[in-house]
Every structure is written in C-alpha cells, then in structure tokens.
C-alpha cells in the first residue's frame, strides 16, 4: 500500500532518480495539436552551444569592486508598518481588462481576485478572520526565534488534458465544419491555443522569486543562526519541473541569483503515484480521486456551473454559429482568461464576462476546493496529516511516526529532515496547503455553514482565491515574549492574515495578536494528529456527500 524511496547520496542522486519519472510523464495537450496553431518554439533550441570561454562567469572575470556585507534585514521585527501586497504591484506586468458591461465611470473591478486557485496571491487582512488589531509584524516586547513556511508554486500553464485545451480542440473541430463568429467573439476566427502544460509561466517565476525576496527582507536576521552553527538550511520541494523551479526561484530571491546554490540545500522528493511524499499525499491516498469521496467538490461545482451561466451562454451563442456553448465551455473560457493572462500577459476572453460571471467563477472554485480539500472533504485531514506531523516533529525535535503519507526514509534523517533549523521553507501544491490548514484545524478560515448551491453561498468565510491562489503561503511564527507566561508563543499566518486559534484550540486565550502558548499548541496539534486515521480515510469503503462539514474526516459507517 505504501512504498518508500531509499536515498543514496545528496541532491544529485535525487535528480537522477527523478529524471526517469519526468521522462515517463505524458503530455496530452500542446499547441501543435490544434489546426492553425504554430508549433511552440523551444528556447534555446536544442544543441545551442554555451561559450563559457568568450563569456566567462563572474568568478573568472574578477574586478568585483567593493563588497562589504551589511547586516541581515529583519523587517518582521523592526518595521513600523507591514508591506501588504494589495494586488496592483503583484499583477504587473499582467493586463487585467474590465469585465463585460463596465464603463470608465464604474469603480474598477479587479477580476483577478475572483479566479479561485488561478488568482495571483494578494495580502489578506487579519480583520478578515476576526483579529482587527493583529499584524504579521512581531508583537511589541516579543522576539521571533523560528519561522516555518509552506508555500505554493507560482502561476503555471494548465495541467495536461485540462478544460482550456479541450475547448481549443472544440473550436478547431467547429472551424472544420463551418464555425462563424461575430461581435465580441470575432477574435475566435483567428485565435489559436498557445499555452504549454504544467510549467511555471514567467510571471509565476517572478511570484516565487519575489516571495523569496520578501522572506529575506522579513526574516533574514535569523540566518545568523546558521552562520553560528556553520550549516546550510535544507529547503524542500517536489520533483515536478514547476516545483523544482519554484524552489529554485524562491531560493534565488532569498539568497541571490548567483549565490543560492552554495547557500542552501534543496531537497527534491519524488512525486509519482505509489510513493510516499508529504508534498503530494494524493499519490497514495486511494480515496482522493474517488467521486463519492475525495472528489465530491468537482461534482458539486459542475452542478452549480450548469445553472448560473444561462444568460451568458445565450449572449455569446447569439454571436456564434456552427458551435453550441455549454456551461463547461464557459468555465473553460473563464479559465483561458486566467491562464492566458498569466502566460501571455493578456487575454481576449476576460472581457467576455461580467462581474456576476466572475463572482460565479469564484464560487465554482469555492465549492470545488471546500469539498475536495477543505472541511467538506472526507480525506483532507488525512492528506494534510503528513505535513502536520512534520511540523510537530520540527516543533518537538522528535522524528514523526509512520502513519501518514510522509516518507520515513527522508523524515528520519538528520541530513534530509533536520529538526534544529530556525528557518524552514517547503514548496508544494495548493491542494496540500489547503489539506494542511484543515489538518491544523484552523476553523476560522472555514467559519460558517457548509457551502451550498443556493441560499447560503456567502455565509462561510472560506474563499478559494484567498487561501489557494498562485504563490499562497502559510507561515508559523515561533516567538519569545518575556512579558507573557509562558514566554514561548506561537501563531499562524496565511497570506499576511494572522489566524485566530482560540475557538479551535481549547485552552488558548482570546488574544489580539493570535498568540498562544507554544507547548499548549503543540499538545493540541498532537491530539489532532492522533485523531486522524489516515488508513481509514484514504482506503475505507464509505460514501460522503456535499452539504456536510466533516472537518476533513471521513464519516464512520
């Protein structure tokens, strides 16, 4: 049921192991599959020589000029105000057009904040979750001693076989049999599908790079601990190309483009079906992709979409013949708006849709993620258990037990899973970030009745674009607060919003800064981990349904 990977050496050996898995991965969507599309150019062309004699590196050129090193930045501790990312700078250089029906007199509607997991991340506020006075900055009279970061890759191309490519093929087929378009859809007459699959886009690379810069600015001072110990930190990621590039871009932002290779060890864990991996637990959790269990959100979301886009379908259908649009096509075109904007900088699909369409698009993702990987999922906590156990191990200094998707070979090794770091940074996928939030039982993020198809749509605090956007990041701060008893405290932050834990962690006081005793939080998390039955939730025969808050756990028969 579970397999382990045995390491032989360091990262070089990992990469050799992963090359086979990467070579075997199928790619089912590419630009050349569609008539009228130009085959995507490969840059640089295969076999292009690199002339290091004519263009030597810095180390050979020399003459670096003065290079005195300054003190490490520590803005999380020393700044008077926090540098929130409110979206405008984050979107540069993307072009986000106004929705259909807007005019210059309308207040600007940023549709990119309603793209669900395809949204670019932006700063949330602690007030969103009930802490109006809390800031990510270290509270007065406290000092930060350790930071744990779990973050998602940046913007990417669609996954292989996803809706945008399927829609493109539908356009190709219709063109062969007499497609005619006019008005807002006139651009489809010569539109071709230009997206790749799976890889980070240039904007996605920048998101992870800038996240690395941000965390160096905020927490760089903590690197002095590694200097004193004469060790390098170990940052982790998965073997998918976009995940490797995510960790490398983050590291380049954190340590410097020319320096990170010598300043951090990047551990790459194999992501492929059948192998234990805390960053990809769905690869061994059998119930994850079963329609009546771990994928009920997909079914509910499609049912919702089938009922809310009728007027939009009618408007667009009036401008096209030779093709019949469905709600599936509407979702595909909305996704093309998101993906083309991230990949190409602009998309003609965006202006086809109204504000209401984008609000429904967001809720489509809300339903999908709430019931696939949120509290409405019967497997979410089980899939997040491996990261929960790894966090607990780093909090306690004791290696985790083998009762989840984590890889024991790596997680019981000082080399591959050090327990004494002051900075941790793990790259993963959005579903795993959400699984982890559920496993941590951070109920303030999901406060309200279970999401429904009608009536109570906006009564729950859960919004997909807030919690699982591109480059989303979950942070645990460990602090020393001499004015408090006990002095060692901890708190959790998601995309710059401090999360209150007093309601979900019995014994934690109501605290304006979201703080609670470190030892008490660890004991609550240990109890939560013990309650999660990975084998039952991932392998038992049961049926789950929408409309229930399972707290991420499978129902018992």
CATH number of domain containing 143: 3.40.50.1240
Q: Determine the pLDDT at residue 15.
A: 39
Decide if pLDDT at 96 tops 80.
yes
Q: Which domain holds residue 380?
A: 118-156+201-289+370-539
pLDDT at 2 over 90: no
> pLDDT band for position 370 (50/70/90)?
very high
Average pLDDT of the residues in 518-536: 98
Alpha helices in 3-122 (DSSP H): 11-24, 58-61, 75-78, 88-91
Q: Residues 381-418: pLDDT tens digits?
A: 999 999 999 999 999 999 998 899 999 989 999 999 99
Residues 205 and 156: beta-carbon distance below 8 Å = no
pTM: 0.90
Cα-flanking dihedrals φ and ψ of residue 149, to 5°? Answer: -120, 130
pLDDT, tens only, 109-138: 899 999 999 999 999 999 999 999 999 999
**Reduced 3-state DSSP string for 213-276:** HHHHHHHHHHHHHHHHHCCCCEEEEECCHHHHHHHHHHHHHHHCCCCHHHCCEEEEECCCCCEC
Can you say how many angstroms the Cα of residue 307 is from the centroid of all Cα atoms in its chain?
29
Share of the chain above pLDDT 90, in %: 80
- Is 87 a domain residue? no
| pLDDT bracket for residue 517 (50, 70, 90) | very high
Chain segment 168-209, per-residue pLDDT in tens: 999 999 999 999 999 999 999 999 999 999 999 999 999 999
How far, in Å, are 37, 287, 370, 405 from residue 296 at the CA level? 36, 11, 10, 21
Report residue 235 CA to chain centroid gap: 16
Check whether 230 has a pLDDT greater than 80: yes
- Inform me whether the pLDDT recorded for 544 exceeds 60: yes
Q: Let me know if residue 127 belongs to a domain.
A: yes
Give pLDDT, residue 18. Answer: 35
Location of structure tokens 């259908």: 317
Q: Is residue 196 part of a domain?
A: no
- For the record, the structure tokens of 284 come out as 């061994």
Cα–Cα distance measured from residue 27 to residue 74, given in angstroms and rounded to the nearest whole number: 44
Coil, helix or strand at residue 374: coil
Query: How far, in Å, CA of 299 to CA of 358, rounded?
Result: 20
Please state the rounded mean pLDDT for residues 6-23.
Answer: 36
Flag whether 169 is in a domain: no
How many angstroms separate the CA atoms of 451 and 356, rounded? 18
Q: What's residue 54's pLDDT?
A: 79
Whether pLDDT at 151 is above 60: yes
Find out whether 396 and 488 touch, Cβ atoms under 8 Å: no
379 with 193: CB under 8 angstroms? no
Computed over its alpha carbons, how large is the radius of gyration of the chain?
A: 24
What is the arithmetic mean of pLDDT over 476-481? 98
Q: pLDDT at residue 8 above 50?
A: no
pLDDT in tens, 485-505: 999 999 999 999 999 999 999
Residue among 90, 54, 4, 58 nearest 407 (CA): 4
The predicted pLDDT at position 457 comes to: 66
Task: Find the distance separating the first CA and the last CA of the chain, reported in whole Å.
Answer: 22
pLDDT at position 88 is 64
Q: Decide if 213 is inside a domain.
A: yes
Instruction: Say what the pLDDT of residue 47 is.
Output: 82
The stretch 376-383 carries a mean pLDDT of 98
Please list the residues that pair with 156 across neighbouring strands: 200
Distance CA 552, CA 435 (A): 8
Binned at pLDDT 50, 70 and 90, residue 453 comes out as confident
DSSP state, 489? E
Using alpha carbons, list the distances in angstroms from residue 235 to 265, 386, 421, 479: 6, 17, 10, 21
Flag the least confident range among 37-41, 248-252, 350-354: 37-41
**Res. 456 pLDDT band, cuts 50 70 90:** low
Evaluate the CA torsion angle 292, 294, 295, 296 in order and state its sign: positive
Question: What's the pLDDT band for 97 if we cut at 50, 70, 90?
Answer: confident
Residue 291 scores a pLDDT above 80: yes
**Mean pLDDT rounded to a whole number for the chain:** 90
Listed residue (140, 127, 128, 130) closest to 80, CA to CA? 140
Residue 64: per-residue pLDDT: 80
**Distance from the Cα of residue 431 to its chain's centroid:** 7
Q: How many CB atoms lie within 10 A of CB 413?
A: 14
- Token duo for residue 549: 């808050």
In a domain, 269, yes or no: yes
Q: Is the pLDDT of residue 11 over 60?
A: no
- In-domain check, residue 478: yes
Closest-CA residue to 394 (of 287, 280, 298, 522): 522
* Closest among 381, 399, 379, 382 to 390, alpha carbons compared: 399
Task: Find the mean pLDDT for residues 365-386.
Answer: 98
Number of domains the chain is built from: 1
pLDDT tens per residue, range 29-65: 333 344 334 445 677 778 878 787 877 777 888 888 8
Which letter does DSSP use for residue 49 in this model?
A: -
Three-state secondary-structure class, residue 55: coil
In the predicted model, what is the mean pLDDT of residues 538-554? 96
Any domain includes 38: no
N residues, the chain: 557
- Which H, E and C letters describe 502-520, residue by residue? CCCCCCCCCCCCCCEEHHH
Q: CA–CA separation, 67 vs 79, rounded Å?
A: 26
Q: Rounded to an integer, what distance in angstroms lies between the CA atom of residue 333 and that of residue 327?
A: 10
For residue 387, the model assigns a pLDDT of 97
Residue 425's pLDDT band (cuts 50, 70, 90): very high
Neighbours of 198 (CB within 10 A): 17
């Amino acid at each position: 049921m579970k397999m382990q990977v045995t390491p032989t050496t360091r990262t070089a050996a990992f990469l050799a192991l992963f090359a086979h898995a990467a070579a075997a991965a199928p790619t089912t969507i590419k630009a050349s599959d569609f008539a009228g599309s130009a085959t995507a150019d490969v840059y640089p062309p295969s076999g292009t020589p690199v002339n290091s004699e004519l263009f030597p590196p810095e180390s050979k050129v020399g003459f670096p000029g003065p290079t005195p090193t300054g003190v490490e930045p520590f803005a999380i501790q020393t700044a008077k105000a926090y540098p929130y990312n409110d979206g405008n700078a984050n979107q540069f250089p993307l072009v986000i057009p106004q929705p259909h029906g807007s005019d210059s007199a309308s207040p600007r509607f940023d549709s990119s904040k309603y793209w669900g997991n395809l949204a670019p991340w932006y700063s949330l506020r602690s007030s969103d979750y009930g802490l109006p006075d809390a800031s990510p900055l270290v509270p007065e009279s406290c000092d930060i001693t350790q930071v744990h970061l779990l973050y998602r890759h940046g913007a990417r191309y669609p996954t292989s076989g996803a809706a945008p490519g399927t829609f493109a093929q539908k356009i190709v087929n219709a063109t062969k049999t007499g497609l005619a378009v006019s008005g807002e859809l006139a651009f489809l007459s010569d539109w071709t599908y230009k997206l790749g699959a799976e890889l980070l886009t240039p904007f996605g690379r920048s998101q992870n790079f800038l996240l690395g810069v941000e965390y160096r600015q905020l927490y760089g001072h903590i690197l002095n601990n590694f200097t004193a110990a004469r060790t390098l930190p170990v940052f982790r990621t998965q073997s998918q190309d976009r995940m490797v590039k995510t960790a490398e871009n983050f590291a380049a932002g954190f340590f410097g483009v020319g320096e990170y290779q010598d300043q951090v060890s990047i551990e790459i864990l194999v992501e492929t079906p059948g192998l234990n991996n805390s960053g990809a637990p769905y690869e061994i959790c059998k119930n994850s992709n079963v329609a009546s269990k771990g994928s009920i959100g997909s079914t509910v979301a499609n049912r919702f979409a089938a009922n809310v886009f009728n007027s939009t379908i009618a408007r667009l259908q009036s401008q096209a013949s030779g093709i019949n649009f469905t709600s599936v096509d509407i979702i595909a075109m909305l996704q093309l708006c998101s993906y083309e904007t991230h990949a190409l900088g602009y998309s003609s699909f965006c202006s086809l849709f109204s504000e209401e369409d984008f609000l429904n698009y967001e809720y489509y993702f809300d339903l999908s993620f709430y019931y696939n990987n949120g509290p409405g999922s019967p497997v979410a906590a089980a899939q997040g258990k491996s990261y929960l156990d790894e966090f607990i191990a780093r909090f306690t200094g004791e290696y985790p037990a083998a009762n989840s998707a984590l890889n024991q070979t790596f997680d019981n090794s000082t080399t591959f899973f050090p327990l004494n770091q002051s900075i941790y940074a793990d790259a993963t996928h959005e579903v795993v970030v959400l699984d982890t939030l559920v496993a941590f039982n951070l109920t303030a993020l999901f406060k309200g009745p279970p999401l429904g198809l009608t009536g109570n749509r906006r009564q729950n605090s859960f919004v997909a674009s807030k919690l699982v956007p591109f480059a989303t990041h979950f942070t645990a701060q460990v602090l020393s607060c001499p004015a408090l008893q006990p002095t060692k405290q901890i708190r959790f932050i998601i995309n710059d919003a401090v999360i209150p834990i007093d309601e979900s962690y019995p014994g934690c006081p109501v605290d304006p800064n979201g703080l609670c005793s470190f030892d008490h939080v660890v004991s609550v998390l240990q109890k939560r981990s013990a309650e999660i039955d990975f084998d039952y939730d991932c392998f038992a025969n049961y049926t789950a349904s929408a409309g229930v808050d399972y707290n991420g756990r499978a129902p018992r028969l």
